[in-house]
A and B are shown apart, each in its own frame.
Chain A
Amino acid sequence: MLRYLENVVTLQLDTETCNGCGMCVNVCPHGVFNVQDRKAAIVDKEACMECGACALNCPVNAIKVQSGVGCATAIIMGAIGKKSECSGSCGGSPAANAANKSGSCGATK
């Protein structure tokens, strides 16, 4: 199983708000979540690729993640003010792009 850099994932789950519907389990392509006792739990945080499907499909908004396509090409193209074939604009899913209209995603932080 391929693993990427450690301790970088921005995924957060608010267990208080969670209603245990299990949608996050259904959409996650990396088995990050599990539902135990009608509450979701993050069981494999390091496997998260920040696609954002869980946060988007959580009906009670209990999940937060800084989502986007982790794509070096898109970040470089964004940094030099060009668009990339890799995504609409910079390193992001449509959702992340909307949150980043400036197109300066390489320079965030």
Chain B
Amino acid sequence: MSGAPRVKELLEIIHRIESTHLSEVVSHRQIILPQLGAPGVAAHEVKRRSSFRVIYGPVRAHDIPEFLNAGMKTSAEMREVNFNLSDRTVLIPVELVQWSPYALAVALVLFFLAGVSRNGYILPGWTGGREVLIVIVAFITGSALTPIFLPWLPGRALSVKGMISGLIFAIVLVFAGLIPSAQTGGQLETAAWILLMPAIAAFTAMNFTGSTTYTSLSGVKKEMRFAVPAQIIVAMLGLSLWVTARFF
């Protein structure tokens, strides 16, 4: 529990006030801090140790003029953090950069495994390329499309939202003919991707929890308790079906 303030971490702003000799630079004893800095500041400790009174400004810089005009008072709207489309979209590159090495590793493994058949091994051409493409679609579904469509996807847990978008795209790819569905081999491959794509998208979407402005630590822990085992089981099942499909 974080009841008592852990003073050591909160001294940063006090050190800054001291090292810049702020009290000699200005005659007043007020310091305006951005509101979103508050999880790392204890205003009453700053006051006690530096004599500066902390005033929390608005969340967004463009509200500063209005904040000043109102006598350094924030309105409820100024204090509210949103998570609208543009807020979500700017975070997508971070997700893509962070997870693309893993996605590419998975794609490469599937590329080479795609050469396995009952007649032995041949280096896969288009068949392997197709598997790579499907992995990339699943990855983008979880880390880019799920954040974009976040408010409109059903469920509250991000892994559930990711799973649903993964499932939608798996069905789309089956109908588009990218995932083969003919004969036993195709049916196994379809079943495999119907499991694998939601698992991949659920996992990457779940990791968007670190970027959102509304998910709590307790919630993420609860989500992970059911989502991670589910993702592992579904992925293992999907992978077994996928490997089996090679032999038909």
Q: Do A and B bind each other?
A: yes
Q: Is B209 within 8 A of A71, CB to CB?
A: yes
- Is B21 an interface position by the 8 A CB rule? no
Interface residues of B in 116-170 (CB under 8 A from A): 150-151, 156-158
Q: Tell me how many residues of A have a C-beta within 8 Å of chain B.
A: 55
Q: Is A29 within 8 A of B81, CB to CB?
A: yes
Q: Tell me how many residues of B have a C-beta within 8 Å of chain A.
A: 50
- Is A37 an interface position by the 8 A CB rule? no
- Is B6 an interface position by the 8 A CB rule? yes
**Interface 1/0s, chain A 70-106, versus B by CB < 8 A?**
1111111000000001110001111110110000001
Query: Contacts of A95 on B, CB cut-off 8 Å?
Result: 2, 5-6, 9-10, 39-40
Majority secondary structure of chain A interface residues (helix, strand, loop or mixed)? loop
Q: Is A56 within 8 A of B41, CB to CB?
A: yes
Q: Give CA–CA (A75, B203) in the complex, Å.
A: 13
Nearest CB on B from A77, distance (A): 10
- Is B114 an interface position by the 8 A CB rule? no
- Is B30 an interface position by the 8 A CB rule? no
**Interface 1/0s, chain A 13-54, versus B by CB < 8 A?**
000000000010111111100000000000000011111110
Binding site for A on B (CB under 8 A): 1-6, 8-10, 35-36, 38-44, 56, 59, 74, 76, 79-81, 83, 98, 150-151, 156-158, 206-207, 209-210, 212-224, 228
Binding site for B on A (CB under 8 A): 2-6, 8-10, 23, 25-31, 47-53, 55-57, 59, 61, 64-76, 85-87, 91-96, 98-99, 106, 108-109
